[in-house]
Amino acid sequence: MEKCLVFCFSFITLFICVKCSLPPPCDSEIYCSGPILHHMQEAKLFKDDKHFVDMKLKSPPGEVLAAFQTLLNEWPNSSIPTEKLQEFLEANFDKPGTEFETWMPTDWQEKPRFLSGIADEKLRLWAEQIHGLWKSLGRKIQTSVKDHPELYSQIFTPHPVVVPGGRFRELYYWDSYWVINGLILSEMTETAYGMIQNFLFLVERYGFVPNGGRVYYERRSQPPFLPLMVESYYGATGNRQFLRAALPVLETEYRFWMQNRSVTVTVTGSEHVLNRFKVDADLPRPESYTDDLELAEGLSDEVRRRLFVDLKAGAESGWDFTSRWFINASGQNDGTLRDTRTSQILPADLNALLCRNERLLASFHRLLGEILTSDLHLAFSSQLLLHED
Ligand SMILES: *[C@@H]1O[C@H](CO)[C@@H](O)[C@H](O)[C@H]1NC(C)=O
Ligand SMILES: *[C@@H]1O[C@H](CO)[C@@H](O)[C@H](O)[C@H]1NC(C)=O
Ligand SMILES: *[C@@H]1O[C@H](CO)[C@@H](O)[C@H](O)[C@H]1NC(C)=O
């Protein structure tokens, strides 16, 4: 277990003491912590740190860890030559991307109706090209990921996903809101349905939606757009049965944001529960391991840990990264990436989103005839508004 860290901070009217012994980004001793991750990333075998943590294990983690221990014993000063690391990697890992089957969305069609509504020819061609992207961004995860999750960093989800593309070869939370709206415009409601089912599946498993579909994202989320995804889908299909099944899961996610991502502030005598991004996980982000280590160089132990936590909170915000989260030593919004203090800010956009979600949940309950729960959510949403009487 990591050494315990105690720190206090104050910001505006917040005054909070946190005593923490934080867990790593995930429990895997290969993908999220431990000597293999450290040596492989420090050796910079690939241009992008995400490459290594997306590789599949060829044998069970225990065996791979034991084999690496042998290597460490051979090189006690821990200066394992790069060729040895390379050899180890080839013997024990497969390249990224092997966990997918090729998959074509079954509901894709050449000419969805929206295209004929675009008068400008250049714009219409552009829209057609974007519509064509669905064919190359769809992915289906092999069932072997479900049967042997310990061999993969990829998190199994039962339905096909549309990925952002490039180095982002897994689903992402808030990106998917716009993807789903695009799919609906392309009349691909079946694919949109599957994506939403995946997110509901993740909430049932984790209690919230992880940042993305990898184990190294499993202790952080992203701006909560799941209720809006459900709204978009319901708006397109009017499927009440879908809404009824989704609603308890949306409530679970909502509880996560209210219990695990909130603070109570007192303004002119009245209390308000407001939300923030905050990730309770230590260590550098596995997928940006050396970036985080280099950024933290020369900082004290305590400040370094705090930075690792706030960089993850920055990733959770979806704004990774931005000067919005820079707070310098005198508490001013001025500084550099090293001054990232995401968890010390109550972002207006996140709070507006939570307010929107409360009103949405209220309207879903009302639609399904659950008036009492509906009123409760409305009461909460008005509590969020600092200046409402
Ligand atoms: C580390 O140990 C290995 C094997 O004992 C040796 O060959 C190598 O020169 C050592 N490197 C350093 C920097 O001491
Ligand atoms: C939220 O916080 C509670 C209480 O601190 C904790 O027991 C729970 O595990 C947290 N949930 C998640 C999903 O992190
Ligand atoms: C923080 O930023 C403010 C505003 O630019 C500046 O006046 C102050 O000197 C800075 N403090 C530190 C410790 O850098």
Mean pLDDT over 147-165 rounds to 97
| Block residue for tokens 């290969």 | 30
What is residue 42's predicted lDDT score, i.e. its pLDDT? 96
pLDDT at 301 over 90: yes
What number of other Cβ atoms are within 10 A of residue 351's Cβ? 19
Residues with CB under 6 A from ligand 1: 75, 77, 79
Expressed in angstroms and rounded, the spacing between residue 48 Cα and the centre of ligand 3 is 34
Label residues 92-118 b or e (16+ Cβ within 10 Å = b): bbeebeebbeeeebeebeeebeeeeee
Separation CA 343–CA 280 (nearest Å): 10
pLDDT over 80 at 11, yes or no: no
Which among 303, 328, 338 is the best mutation to test ligand 3's pocket, defined by most ligand atoms within 8 Å of the CB? 328
Distances in Å between the Cα of 248 and the Cα atoms of 200, 231, 243, 373 are 10, 14, 9, 11
| 333 Cα nearest atom in ligand 3 | 2
What distances in angstroms separate CA 288 from CA 62, 69, 185, 188, one per listed residue? 24, 24, 35, 34
Ligand nearest to the CA of 75: 1
Residue 380 — pLDDT band, cuts 50, 70, 90?
confident
Strand order in the sheet with 100-101: 100-101, 138-141, 161-162
Tokens of 361: 């949940």
pLDDT of 20 over the 80 cut: no
Region 219-238: what's the mean pLDDT?
A: 98
Instruction: Check pLDDT > 80 for residue 14.
Output: no
94 Cα–ligand 3 center, Å: 48
What is the reported pLDDT for 10?
Answer: 32
Q: Rounded to the nearest whole angstrom, what is the distance from the C-alpha of residue 260 to the centroid of ligand 2?
A: 6
Token reading at 3: 């050494």
Mean of per-residue pLDDT scores for the chain = 92
Does residue 388 carry a pLDDT above 70? Answer: no
Instruction: Give the separation between CA 249 and CA 344, rounded to whole angstroms.
Output: 29
Average pLDDT on 91-118 reads 95
> Rounded to whole angstroms, what are the CA distances from 323 to 84, 328, 336?
41, 11, 7
Q: Which amino acid is at 196?
A: I
User: Ligand 1, atom 13: nearest CA belongs to which residue?
Assistant: 79
CB atoms within 10 A of CB 130: 12
Q: Which of 336, 335, 364 shows the shortest CA–CA distance to 251? A: 364
Mean pLDDT of 5-17: 34
Is residue 262's pLDDT more than 60? yes
pTM above 0.75, yes or no: yes
